[in-house]
Each structure stands twice: as C-alpha cells, then as structure tokens.
A and B are shown apart, each in its own frame.
Chain A
Amino acid sequence: MPNSATAGGFLLVLAIVLPIAGALLSLVLGGRHAERVALIVMPTGVVVAVAIAATIWRTHSVLQYFVGNWDPPLGVAFRADGLSAVMIVTAALLICGIGLFARTQFPTPRGVEARASLAFWTLLLAIWGALNAVFIGGDLFNLYVALELLTFAAVPLVSLDGSAETLAAALRYLLFALLGSILYLLGAVLLYGAYGTLDIVLLSSRINAEPAAWAAISLMTAGLLAKAALYPFHLWLPPAHAGAPAPASAMLSGLVVKAPFFIVVRLWFDVMPRVPERTAAQVLGLLGAAAILFGSVVALRQARLKLLIAYSTVAQIGYLFLMFPLAIMPETGHPWNSVAWTGGILQAVSHAFAKAAMFMAAGLIAEALGHDRIAGLSGIGRALPTTVFAFGLGGLSLMGLPPSGGFVAKAMLLTAAVAEGQWWWAVVVLTGGLLAGGYVFLVLAKALADTSQPVTLRSRISQSRQTLAVAVALCAVLLGFVPLRPLELLQIGRPNTAVVDVR
C-alpha cells in the first residue's frame, strides 16, 4: 500500500464533512429549514459516494487521506478500500431512500417550530456522517469516536416520540452502547501500549500472537458485539428498534448495527491477519448460530409486526458472524478470497436494504390501521397491495430465496460450509431460512387473507411512499444478480489480492 495520500483523498473528507456540516447547519437554521438542508445534502452525498466507489474501481487501489498531512503513527489516516466503497454507497442510497420516505412523517412545520422534525433531519445527517467516518476510519481511536458519534445520533432517534416506553428503550440502548464503547476503548489502549500505534495498516505489520494482543482484541470484539446486538447482547435491540418511528427503525436496523460489525471485520481481517484465532472464530460463529435460532423462534411468537421485524434483525445479525469461522478456516488462499467472506459482506448489504424496506412497509401499515397487531392485519393486502408487496420482497431476501441478495449471501455461506466440511453451519443457515420463511409467511398469510368486509383505513397512504418502500426492497432483489464468487470490487485494497477461486 503506498504510504502517501492519494489524489482522490479529498472525496473521503467530503463524505464526512458534508453530512456533519448539514447537521450543524440544520441546528443553526432551526426546524423550518432542516428538511431543506437534508434534501440538498442527500443527492450531493450520493454523488460523493458514487465518486469514491468509481475512483476506487478505476484506479484499483485504496483511496487515502492524511489529516493535516501528518503521516501515521502521529497523524490520522482516512482509507477507503473496496469494502468501504460498498458500504459507503449502500449507506448513501439507503439514507436517501429513507429520507424521501420520511418527508410525510416529519414535514417542515408551518408556523410553530416542531422539535420532532428538527431532531429527525439533524440526526439523519449525523448518522450518515458517523457511518461514513466508520467506513473510512483508518485509526482505531478515530473509529471509537465515530462509533460514539453514531450512538449519540442513533439513541435520540429511538425516543423521538417522547413516550415513557421509548425513553426506557433508548436509555437501555445507550447503556449497552456505552459498555460496548468503553470496552472497545480499553482494547485500543492496550494495543497502543503494546505496539505504539493505532493505525490499522501499521498495527497489522507489528501485531504478534501474544497475550496483550489477544486481551485487546477480545475486549474490543466483546464491546463491538454489545453494540451490534449479537446474541446474548441483543436485549436492547427489539424495544429500541420497534419503538422508534418507522424511518428511524429502518436506519437503525438497516445501517447502524452494521457499523460495529464492519469494525469487527476490520479488526479480524485487517488488523490481525497473522494472528491465529480459529477457536475464537468458532465462538463467534456459535454466537451467530444461537442468534439465528433464538431470534427467529422468538420472532415467530411476536404479536406485533414491528417487534417481529426487530427480532428478525437479531436473527439476521447472526448470519453476519457465521463468516468468521468459515472465512478464517480455509487452508488455501487468504480469508478475503473465500466465498464466505464475500457472503458475509453481501449479507450485511442485502439485509440493510431488505430490513429497511420491511420497516418502511410496517410503518405504512401501522399508519393506515392505527395499530400493528399481526392478528388484525387481515385485508390489508387488498387495501395497500404495494406496501405488502414491498414487505414480501424484503422477506424474500431474509428467507434466502432467489432472486435476492439474501439468497446469494446465504448460498455463499452454504457453499463455504460444505466445501470446508463444517456442515453444522450449513444446518444453521438452512434452519434459519426455514424459520424466516415461517415468520414472513405468518404476516403475509394474515395480510392476504380474504375477508368479507373491507378494512377501514385510518389515513390515506400516498402511492409515492409505497413505491419508495418497493424501490428499496428491489435493491435487495437486484443484489441477487451478483455472481456467486468473490467479488473483484471487494478485493481492492486487500493485502495480496491475487484472486484465488477457492470454490
């Protein structure tokens, strides 16, 4: 990797500065202009994200920027490889979709100031900036600050309506997140103490298999698991994600929980590629498997639609962590050349789109009916066919049926499990798919049930919002056309990127 800033480096700065500047500007201008600021920043941000991905694709190398021209270890580096590019583009597209979707729910207030509107648009931009900071952070302490920014932006979104129930959910979320971040910081301190740098590239060349590194990485991973809500740290997630307003739930479930997962991937595959950690990878896989089974079974027993979707998030996060035992085990090639590694990343991206679409659909249904009890959904399929279609498309990806991103991701995980003789993970993937089919079917069966009397809708749902939910779900479906092998874009910036097809 060239040890200097690259030409397109300013794009990385823009990716962070643009949303943060927008958030600050909204605060200054107040609720009457917050939506307008967001509507200007969103398309600009998409252009920046696409430009970053295009530059990385064209040059086939990592984008780098050193803040203030200070080289690491003294300075802070921003780096974007193929993995960052994929996540940045995902975040940009999804934030835009959610932003457009939220315009009806958080409109610019006429006359008096509405705090909910100001808070929503400011926090949306803040979340976006923090996500980009996580995706391009090249320094472990910088990543800590980015994670905290993300938490501070995400927690208030949960309690936007100010009810006691959501306040409690937000507080519990914050307490889990704080425990997670302080454990992460402690690990970072140990790493600095042992190796004298927090820069990811420098660390990866200095780190050795010794107790200091193990302790540090364990602490950091444990902290990140608490933030990513992997079983058994999932307790905070369902009330928080189900209690938030629908657009906020879509962001929290789709994007925010992916940030700590992204840092775990950075830690395990970038910081310590030379440290053997196979037993630990099996433990992560086991927690993931427990999350899949537990989350899916509990989702089946939920009476409320948003809680069902939230528990399904708990289950789908489990899939992300199956990539660790599968990608770290292969004898041939590098972990990131394996289909399991690609499958894990694709699962993160496709789940982001699918889950966001499902939360949008659930929000529309709740708005139309005035409740989201699954038992009372009958006939909604006739009243809001487009919405139910979006929910179904999202469910397709969760179940892992073709054509959908979820199918490709899970097929890659299955292929890896079978190829490496770790058949037990294959059983978990298949069982999880069946259970997901169960809870999606429970909802669809109710929604499409034939009722004699037509449902009375509390409020009219505009066709454009329904179409937006379908568009987001279609992104998850389109990911189903990704070829079933390690992707070239994801390989950019990996050390030693000769593509070895290990299928």
Chain B
Amino acid sequence: MTDATLYGLCGAALVGLGLFGLIVHPQPLRKILAFNLIGGGAFLLFGVVARRGASAGLDGDPVPQALVITGLVVAFAATALAVALLLRLFQETGRATLRSDDSQP
C-alpha cells in the first residue's frame, strides 16, 4: 500500500466517522464536532490529491493546498457561528439540545 492510499483511506475513515456522528448524535455540540471530523477527512483527501500532483504532473500540486487553507478558514468560521448560536441557546433556555422543542405538525 502506498502512502497516498493510506492517507486516502484515513481521510475516508474520518469522513465516515463524522457522518455517523452527525446522523446518530442528537446533541448539537456533538454534531458540530462531527462536522469538523468530516471536514478534517475532506481536507486530508485534498492533501492526498495534492501529493499526487494530479493536474500538472508535479511532485506536489499547490492548488489544493491553497484551497485547503481557504476551506479551513470557512470551516473554522462555521464552527464559531454554530458554537455562538448554541451558547446563546443555552443562555436563553438553560439547555443545549434541539429535541424537546420539535414542533411537528
């Protein structure tokens, strides 16, 4: 198994774990963490793609690295916004869950 395959599989495993967590856990904080896990997996995959130098046949392709950095910033901002909302929800209601206020028709 080459390095790239190993990294790729690790990335895929992270995405799988995160997806599982996002679907199974009802608590918003865990969902936010799971989202970051998927993000980590996606960025790892992107790193592998860069290592393969897919577009130019180089040793390393710089484009994915630039995109990963942008992606990290976006994911960081998303996490910050989600945690801020959750904190505010906790201040308002004293709990950090979404379940009890389900207003199903």
Contacts and interface: CB of A to CB of B under 8 A. Distances in A.
**A and B found bound together:** yes
Interface of A: 73-74, 141, 144-145, 148, 151-152, 155-156, 159, 162-165, 167-168, 170-172, 174-175, 178-179, 181-182, 185-186, 189-190, 192-197, 239, 298, 301-302, 307, 311
A151 B82 CA distance: 11
Contacts of A192: 46, 49, 54-55, 63-64, 67
B42 A185 contact: yes
A144 B77 CA distance: 14
B82 A171 contact: yes
Nearest to B103: A239
A197 B55 contact: yes
B103 A189 contact: no
Interface string B66-105: 0100110011011001100110110011000010010101
Contacts of B75: 182
Contacts of B98: 168, 171-172
B60 interface: no
12 contacts: A148-B77, A152-B77, A156-B81, A164-B92, A167-B85, A168-B98, A168-B101, A171-B89, A178-B82, A179-B38, A298-B105, A301-B105
Interface string B44-68: 0110110010111000010110010
A110 B47 CA distance: 52
A175 B85 CA distance: 11
A192 B62 CA distance: 12
A239 B104 CA distance: 10
A302 B39 CA distance: 38
Contact of B81 (A145, A174, A311): A174
A415 B32 CA distance: 45
A284 B28 CA distance: 29
A338 to B, nearest CB: 34
B22 A152 contact: no
- A-B residue pairs, 8 tightest by C-beta: A196-B55, A193-B49, A164-B92, A196-B54, A167-B89, A164-B93, A171-B85, A182-B38
A167 B92 contact: yes
Pick from A145, A190, A192, A302 the residue with the most CB of B within 10 Å.
A192
Contact of A148 (B48, B67, B78, B93): B78
Nearest to B88: A167
Nearest to A239: B103
A194 B46 CA distance: 11
Nearest to A73: B55
A186 B75 CA distance: 13
Contacts of B63: 73-74, 192
Contacts of A190: 45
B69 to A, nearest CB: 12
Given A73-B55, A163-B92, A192-B64, A145 B74 contact: yes
Contact of A302 (B22, B31, B54, B105): B105
B18 to A, nearest CB: 8
Pick from A151, A163, A196 the residue with the most CB of B within 10 Å.
A196
Given A145-B70, A175-B28, A302-B105, A182 B42 contact: yes
Given A189-B45, A192-B49, A182 B39 contact: yes
A88 B26 CA distance: 38
Contacts of B35: 175, 178-179, 182
B21 to A, nearest CB: 11
Contacts of A181: 78
Pick from B28, B38, B78, B88 the residue with the most CB of A within 10 Å.
B78
Given A148-B78, A189-B46, 13 more contacts: A145-B74, A152-B81, A162-B88, A164-B89, A165-B101, A172-B98, A174-B81, A178-B78, A189-B45, A192-B49, A192-B67, A193-B48, A298-B105
